[in-house]
Structure formats: C-alpha cells, structure tokens
C-alpha cells in the first residue's frame, strides 16, 4: 500500500517524486497535417507530443494539459500567426520555450518576438530533422533550468510568506489555542491548499476541542483522526504524504476523502524535541504539482511551527 521515501521523517503512501521521470511535454502547432505528422514522428520517442492545427486549438490543448516544456509553432496559419499565438502563452507559461517555423521572411514579426523574449529561436522551412532535434533538446535544457529556478523562487516565497505570518502571530498570542486559527490560515494560504487543519495532540491522541480549520474540508469536524495518514503520523511520528489518492484504491474509497473530494492529502508532524505536539493537514481537491523539495520546505514550516507553539506555551500568562 505504501512506499518509503529516503527521508526518515517523511513517508509516502502513494507514488512520490522518486518515480520514473516522465517525458517532457512538447506541443507542435501547424495548419498542415503532413507537417504535424512529421513533427510527431520526429519527437515521439523522447517527448510526450501534443498536436494542434491552429493557435486557437493549441490554446485549448494548453488549457487541458497545462504547461509544456517546448512549443514549436508554424508562423503562417489562418486566424492567428504563430508569433501572436505564442505571445498569448507567455503570461500563464513564462518558462515554456517557444520555437517558430517559417517559410517566409516575416522579419519584423520574428525580430519583435525574439527581442521581447517570446521566441527562443526560429527555424526556416524546410527544416533538417536532426538539426531541429538539437535545437529542441537545447530548448528543453533551457526550460528545465528556468523551471528549476522558478520553482526555487516559488518555494522561497512560500516559506518566507509563512514564516513572516508565523512570527507576527506568535507575539500576539496569549495561549496556544488562540494561535491555532491564524497559523492554520497562514499555512493553507502560503501553499494554496483547498483545506488546512491544525490539531493539537495530547497523550498520543488528537484533541477534538483543540483544532483549527480553514478552506474546504469534510463535513465531519473530527474527520482528520479517522484517516490512515493521521493515524500513522501519530503512531510513527513521521509526516505522511498521499499524492493522487485515486492511485490507491483503499485511500480513494475512504469516507473522509470522498466527502471532501480530496485528491491529495499531506499530514505533517509538529514535533519539538521528542514531543509530538500537533499535526497540520493540507488537502487539495485537484492534484497540485509537488516535488520532494516542496514537501521538504513544508516540513520546515511545520518544524518552525513547533518552535513557535512551544514558545507560546512557555511564555503564556499564568
């Protein structure tokens, strides 16, 4: 039912980021079917290839499939030029690398697109398949580097956002119970979770009266204690991760997850010294894109929460 992560403090109920890497995604856009077929055959071995016959159709593909590593688009197409289509993808997918295929000398459009950072490179028709492969491989490497930097920046911002909120909450809290709701709110907001529960533990049991919730959760207020993740987190004093619950039939059919339409559930231990103080649970109805690095940063937030709760407990008025 479960896999063990290399970290001794985190346990994965479902497949984690250590699974076999997926092929990078490539979107090819051309109004000529023969060109689409040729591009598909050229790249299908190394990429997960999506095809579209127009810019409008390509935008729909992106809406359904999400971010891709590289887009190869013909320039001259009905309804929308390639550069116009590519410019529409920049706001939502800034890390995607864009390549234009052109058989014409659309110099002004291409130069403007390249100078504005919307196009990585343009290739003239007819193209050489091996040369195009090399260009796309370099583009993929560029995407992976940019994506890595963007993810590092996003993680740093989320961590900073939570720690700032936590350090503002701690001095104002008169007791542990008063701090729970703002901490739960800050945790959930920092990671855009659909639901977040922070619940105190006493004598190895979750305390029903010492709980704060935010966002979408199951209708039963005590649902967290019924979940295998929370039970195992308490028993083992390890954080528990379940991404894509649908991949585990036993978890997917659990009443609490069905009630809240939960697809991803993360339960982090809040431990100070040897004492398990509380659990923080985050739930998403859609599967977020979470790497092992994201989860490690969330655990760091939970560790800082343990320090904050201990300080509040020690210095609360007698």
- CA distance linking residue 75 with residue 204, whole number of Å: 64
Give residue limits of the domains in the chain: 25-147, 173-315
- Dihedral sign computed on CA atoms, order 158, 160, 161, 163: positive
| DSSP states along 281-304 | EEEESS-----HHHHHHHHHHHHH
Residue 116 has a pLDDT of: 62
Element (H, E) at 229: helix 228-236
**Residue keyed to tokens 């599967």:** 287
How does pLDDT run across 36-67, given as a tens digit for each residue?
Answer: 999 999 999 999 999 999 999 999 999 999 99
The sheet carrying 48-52 orders its strands as: 48-52, 25-29, 70-74, 97-102, 121-124
DSSP label of 274: T
| Residue (of 287, 290, 285) closest to 262 by Cα position | 285
Q: Are 258 and 265 in contact (CB under 8 A)?
A: no
Residue 99 has a pLDDT of: 95
The sheet carrying 264-272 orders its strands as: 3-4, 10-12, 239-242, 264-272, 275-284, 195-202, 205-215
Residue 17 has a pLDDT of: 44
Residue 23 has a pLDDT of: 92
Q: Are 14 and 247 in contact (CB under 8 A)?
A: yes
Which residues have a Cβ under 8 Å from the Cβ of 210 and sit 6 or more positions away? Answer: 176, 177, 180, 199, 200, 202
Mean pLDDT of the chain: 87
At residue 188, φ and ψ (nearest 5 deg) are -65, -40
Give the pLDDT band of residue 133 (cuts 50, 70, 90): very high
R_g of the chain, CA atoms, integer Å: 24
Q: Residue 302 CB: number of other CB atoms within 10 A?
A: 23
Give the pLDDT band of residue 157 (cuts 50, 70, 90): very high
Give the pLDDT band of residue 2 (cuts 50, 70, 90): very low
Does 283 have pLDDT greater than 50?
yes
Give the pLDDT band of residue 14 (cuts 50, 70, 90): low
Measure CA 223 to chain center. Answer: 25
DSSP label of 224: G
Residue 19 has a pLDDT of: 47
Does 122 have pLDDT greater than 90?
no
Q: Which fold has domain 173-315?
A: Beta-Lactamase (3.30.450)
Does 106 have pLDDT greater than 80?
no
Q: Which fold has domain 25-147?
A: Rossmann fold (3.40.50)
Does 16 have pLDDT greater than 80?
no
> What's the residue count for the chain?
318
């Amino acid at each position: 039912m479960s896999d063990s992560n290399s970290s001794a403090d985190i346990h994965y109920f479902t497949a984690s980021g250590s699974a076999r890497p997926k092929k990078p995604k490539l979107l090819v856009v051309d109004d000529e079917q023969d060109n689409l077929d040729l591009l598909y055959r050229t790249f299908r071995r190394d990429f997960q290839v999506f095809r579209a016959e127009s810019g409008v159709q390509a935008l729909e593909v992106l809406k359904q499939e999400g971010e891709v590593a590289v887009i190869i688009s013909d320039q001259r197409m009905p309804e929308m030029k390639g550069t116009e289509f590519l410019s529409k993808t920049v706001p939502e997918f800034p890390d995607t690398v864009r390549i234009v295929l052109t058989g014409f000398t659309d110099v002004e459009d291409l130069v403007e697109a390249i100078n504005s950072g919307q196009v990585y490179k343009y290739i003239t028709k007819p193209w050489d398949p091996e040369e195009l492969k090399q260009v796309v491989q370099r583009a993929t490497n560029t995407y992976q580097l940019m994506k890595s930097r963007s993810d590092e920046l996003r993680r740093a911002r989320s961590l900073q956002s939570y720690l700032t909120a936590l350090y503002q909450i701690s001095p104002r809290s008169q007791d542990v119970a008063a701090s729970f709701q703002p901490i739960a709110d800050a945790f959930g907001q920092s990671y855009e979770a659909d639901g977040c529960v922070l619940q105190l533990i006493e004598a190895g049991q979750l305390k029903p009266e010492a709980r704060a919730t935010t966002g979408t959760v199951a209708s039963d207020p005590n649902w967290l204690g019924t979940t295998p993740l929370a039970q195992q987190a308490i028993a083992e004093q390890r954080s528990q991760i379940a991404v894509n619950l649908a991949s585990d039939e036993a978890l997917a059919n659990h009443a609490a997850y069905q009630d809240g339409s939960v697809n991803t559930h993360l339960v982090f231990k809040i431990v100070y010294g040897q004492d398990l103080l509380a659990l923080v649970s985050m739930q998403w109805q859609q599967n977020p894109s979470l790497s092992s690095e994201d989860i490690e940063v969330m655990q760091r937030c939970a560790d800082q929460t343990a320090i904050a709760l201990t300080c509040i407990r020690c210095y609360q008025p007698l």
